[in-house]
Amino acid sequence: MARFTLVNRAQWLPIAATILFTAALTALLAYGMQRASRLQSASAALQLASELGAQPSLLRSELTLIQRGLETRTYVGDSLRTVATSNTASERSFKELAARINEAQLQRDAAISSRLNSATASWQPINQQLQALANARSDQLYADSVSGSALTLRGQQLKDAVDEVLTAQTQQMRVLTTSLGELAGALRGAVVQNGQSLRSLLLAGTALAGMLLAMMLYFALRARRSQAAARNAQHQVENILGTVREGLFLVDREGVIGAAHSDSLASLLHCTSPAGQSLEDLLRPLVTEKTLTAATKYLGLLWKDRVNEELIESVNPLNCIEVSLARGQSGRENRYLSFMFRRARDAGDYLLVAVADISDQVLLQQELEQLKSSSDSQGELLLQLLRIDPQQLEALLVSANQAFRRCNALLTAPGKEASKLREKVNGVFRELHSVKGEAAALGLEGFASRIHQIEDILAGLRAQDELSGDQFVPVVTKLDDLIGYAASLGEARERVASLPQQLPGPQQRQTPSGGDETVPIIPTLPSAPMQAAALESLLKSLAGEVSRAYSRSVQLKLDGLQDVPPEHANRIKDICVQMVRNSVAHGIEAPEKRAVAGKPPGGTVRIKFEHADADNYGLLIEDDGQGLSYEHILNRALQLNLLRPTQAVEMDRAAVLRLIFHPGFSTAKTVSEHAGRGVGLDVVNAMVRDCGGRIGISTAPGQYTRFKVLLPKSATLQSSAA
């Protein structure tokens, strides 16, 4: 019995001592936390008092700016807003200062309390007069007259109020500044006192913690072997999770993801660390709400004891899902993921989830299905070609053939330097993008979608920090497919062209000699009016296509296209195609936004060709949309790393507007068939520059955007352009 008692004492003595020291340390920590909270509140109050001390000078400066602006009839809206914001912030800071002083239990300090009351009393009359200034509207201060701009009644009232504040409240501001400075000094002393008290508590707590640590060494020595074994097992698990290509993780009954997961999971889902998140939150940005609901029900079935998971695997809604994942600054990419679930009850009621990227398998399956349906699409293509103007189709095929030759020349040109490779990316982008707009206008979705796929690859290359020649292999492969598709279009066009010769009746007409003459479908040498009519039809079709894609109503007004000379015909066509797409996609607002702005629901895009002067033709493209925002352009350029902040500060407005011609620059938030690549205006700029022309921009936010293109008339430039 004595031995049993000694053993019990040997066991319970360390435990009792540990409990005693822990209780004492807890009490010290609780008291220390209280002191730390008071120190934090006192420090916050000191910071607020220091910040408020600078407010009178700031307010007086802004009021002086308003006073001078009213005297010189300049814009004072920014200063009024600054005064209103500063006044509101100061009022809020005074309330927070009082609250922080109460939290720090310093309200009973006579020095602090008296100085706070003095500062508050000095602030109240200033605050009342500043609140009256906050209601002034900057757009009602001036009135224009024959002799110039003059103050309105409200403008004069505002000036009188500002003069009164600057004159009457000078002494109050001085008293306020003095009171706040003295309050900051008193709070500084309180902070020092609380800090010393907290330091003493920390020293006592450190001593107790050291004694407690010594007591715990006994238990640490006994657990050494167990920890070594646990580390070895953890190392093995980390090696496994870091090696597998699938994303592996565990989910408990509450749907929370465990801390352990494979390294590949973050790259598969483009997330940082899913540990601790719920599986529902992880899936929500990836799948639709309907799929998420089905997945939740499926997981509920897996938790049931008598459900055979092998049998219900066929109804797994996450077996193959398409997700859109961010890809740097170039936009988003679509991938296909497969989620597989297995119960692991022995591990503590968990579900083992495996995520695999099956994009290659799915894309291969889609290509096989496309090959199977290619024969059917040939017939549909013939029917589609019957609805397209032959002259416009012939022009598209000619432009496409020229673009393909230039793309091949760019891709086969020597040069492995990074600058040369990026020139290839931008050059191929320009050539194909101009053709895509014309194909979309004619309704050739297959043609446009194939170019869009190549643009996806080029956008990925443009986002790469480093490029190599091997990365252009997918571009060459897709370009070969596009050239083959264009060849099939040409063959189909020839078959359509031969139909009038094979069909009797309406396709034949009598000649004066009594014989039959076949009517040609494609005019060999169209006249200028016919060229203008074809271009007008193409542009109106394109405007309608882009308007439907963006749910907008647009009216296209064309003038002078019949005067376009042959040597500039193709260039004018390509420029107009790009500018119409740009105006509708970026310029014209949605009907509801136009209604708010007081505009008619339908936007207008105007194109005019004229003889600008003796040496140049002029092409005007104008829309009555939202205009260009300098701030938006600068912010977007900074996001795309096209500028450094120091450069942005020094740029004038003309240079900012020129940024929209930079390759890859786009203000669109998402990439679509018609916008978002940052290529359209780059194409226009390259076309104008290649023929020695010039392009200018003028805009007014909320009103219009106007592009003025000058093209030379000289014989040398004409021949080179042709």
What does the pLDDT look like over 448-470, one tens digit per residue?
Answer: 778 878 877 877 777 777 777 77
Greatest mean pLDDT range, 373-387, 479-493, 662-676: 479-493
Each residue's pLDDT tens digit, 473-512: 888 887 887 787 777 777 776 766 665 544 443 333 333 3
8 Å CB contact between 467 and 418: yes
pLDDT of residue 719 exceeding 70: no
What percentage of the chain carries pLDDT values higher than 90?
Answer: 3
The residue with greater pLDDT, 658 or 520, is 658
569-582 and 680-690 are packed helices; what angle lies between their axes, rounded to 10 degrees? Answer: 150
Distance of CA 668 to the CA centre of its chain: 8
pLDDT of residue 713 exceeding 90: no
Residues 25 and 161 reside in one and the same domain: yes
Structure-token pair, residue 147: 């002799």
Q: What is the pLDDT of residue 7?
A: 43
The three-state secondary structure class of 607 is strand
Residues 478 and 412 reside in one and the same domain: yes
Residues 53 and 154 reside in one and the same domain: yes
DSSP state of 623: E
8 Å CB contact between 589 and 625: yes
Residues 251 and 380 reside in one and the same domain: no
8 Å CB contact between 428 and 458: yes
Q: What is the pLDDT of residue 107?
A: 77
Burial of 230 (0-12, 13-18, 19+ CB in 10 A): exposed
DSSP state of 671: -
What is the number of domains present in the chain?
4
Element (H, E) at 74: none
Distance of CA 473 to the CA centre of its chain: 29
Q: What is the pLDDT of residue 142?
A: 72
The enclosing domain of 449 has a CATH number of: 1.20.120.160
Three-state secondary structure readout of 502-564:
HCCCCCEEECCCCCEEECCCCCCCCCHHHHHHHHHHHHHHHHHHHHHHCCCCEEEEEECHHHC
Per-residue burial over 472-502, b if 16 or more Cβ lie within 10 Å, else e, is bebbeebbeebbebbeebeebbeebbeebee
Q: What is the pLDDT of residue 508?
A: 39
Burial of 554 (0-12, 13-18, 19+ CB in 10 A): buried
Instruction: Tell me the mean pLDDT in the region 28-45.
Output: 81
Identify any residues that bridge with 356 across adjacent strands, giving them in sequence order: 338
pLDDT of residue 668 exceeding 90: no
223 is a domain residue: no
Vertex 658 angle, CA 655 and 662, to 5°: 125
Instruction: Tell me the mean pLDDT in the region 591-607.
Output: 90
The enclosing domain of 617 has a CATH number of: 3.30.565.10
Greatest mean pLDDT range, 151-160, 256-265, 288-297: 288-297
Of 299, 327, 357, the last residue of a domain is 357
Nearest to 441 by CA among 523, 534, 530, 376: 534
Each residue's pLDDT tens digit, 176-214: 788 888 877 887 887 888 788 878 877 887 887 787 777
Of 480, 500, 520, the last residue of a domain is 500
The enclosing domain of 285 has a CATH number of: 3.30.450.20
- Determine the structural domain holding residue 594 and report its residue range: 528-721
Residue 662, sorted as left (phi over 0), alpha (psi -120 to 50) or beta, turns out to be beta
Q: Phi and psi of 649, rounded to 5°? A: -65, -35
Q: What is the pLDDT of residue 98?
A: 82
Identify any residues that bridge with 257 across adjacent strands, giving them in sequence order: 251
Instruction: Tell me the mean pLDDT in the region 329-336.
Output: 69
Residues 717 and 607 reside in one and the same domain: yes
pLDDT bucket at 607, cuts 50 / 70 / 90 = very high
Residues 560 and 603 reside in one and the same domain: yes
68 is a domain residue: yes
Residues 49 and 159 reside in one and the same domain: yes
pLDDT of residue 3 exceeding 50: no
β-strand 516-518 against 603-611: which pairing, if any? unpaired
The enclosing domain of 68 has a CATH number of: 1.20.120
Vertex 172 angle, CA 167 and 178, to 5°: 135
Q: What is the pLDDT of residue 70?
A: 74
pLDDT bucket at 520, cuts 50 / 70 / 90 = very low
Q: How far apart are CA 123 and CA 175, in angstroms?
A: 9
Instruction: Tell me the mean pLDDT in the region 337-342.
Output: 85
pLDDT of residue 307 exceeding 50: yes
Instruction: Tell me the mean pLDDT in the region 215-238.
Output: 74
Q: What is the pLDDT of residue 521?
A: 33
pLDDT bucket at 525, cuts 50 / 70 / 90 = very low
237 is a domain residue: no
521 is a domain residue: no
The residue with tokens 């930079």 is: 662
pLDDT bucket at 605, cuts 50 / 70 / 90 = very high
Q: Phi and psi of 425, rounded to 5°? A: -60, -50
Helices (H), 640-695: 645-650, 653-658, 680-690
Q: How far apart are CA 673 and CA 443, in angstroms?
A: 12
506 is a domain residue: no
Residues 624 and 566 reside in one and the same domain: yes
Q: What is the pLDDT of residue 313?
A: 77
Q: How far apart are CA 229 and CA 224, in angstroms?
A: 9
510 is a domain residue: no
Residues 179 and 33 reside in one and the same domain: yes
pLDDT of residue 375 exceeding 50: no
Burial of 504 (0-12, 13-18, 19+ CB in 10 A): exposed
Nearest to 94 by CA among 123, 115, 69, 66: 123
Q: Phi and psi of 621, rounded to 5°? A: -125, 120
Of 336, 357, 378, the last residue of a domain is 357
Span of 100-109, 462-471, 615-624 with lowest mean pLDDT:
462-471
Span of 46-50, 222-226, 228-232, 540-544 with lowest mean pLDDT:
222-226
Q: What is the pLDDT of residue 380?
A: 54
State which amino acid sits at residue 266.
A
8 Å CB contact between 98 and 116: yes
State which amino acid sits at residue 159.
K
Nearest to 682 by CA among 455, 360, 412: 455
473-502 and 390-412 are packed helices; what angle lies between their axes, rounded to 10 degrees? Answer: 160
The residue with tokens 């300049």 is: 74
Q: What is the pLDDT of residue 504?
A: 41
Q: What is the pLDDT of residue 328?
A: 57
Alpha-carbon dihedral 43, 48, 54, 58, rounded to 10 degrees: 150
Residues 546 and 679 reside in one and the same domain: yes
What are the C-alpha distances in Å from 250 to residues 259, 272, 299, 413? 8, 17, 13, 52
The residue with tokens 């929370």 is: 256
Instruction: Tell me the mean pLDDT in the region 407-432.
Output: 78
Instruction: Tell me the mean pLDDT in the region 392-406.
Output: 78
What are the DSSP E strand ranges found in 549-602? Answer: 554-559
Span of 208-212, 217-221, 591-595, 701-705 with lowest mean pLDDT:
217-221
pLDDT bucket at 374, cuts 50 / 70 / 90 = low
Mean pLDDT over all residues of the chain? 76
564 is a domain residue: yes
Residues 301 and 316 reside in one and the same domain: yes
276 is a domain residue: yes
Q: How far apart are CA 442 and CA 451, in angstroms?
A: 14
Residues 650 and 619 reside in one and the same domain: yes
Instruction: Tell me the mean pLDDT in the region 366-376.
Output: 58
Nearest to 694 by CA among 714, 711, 706: 711
Q: What is the pLDDT of residue 389?
A: 66
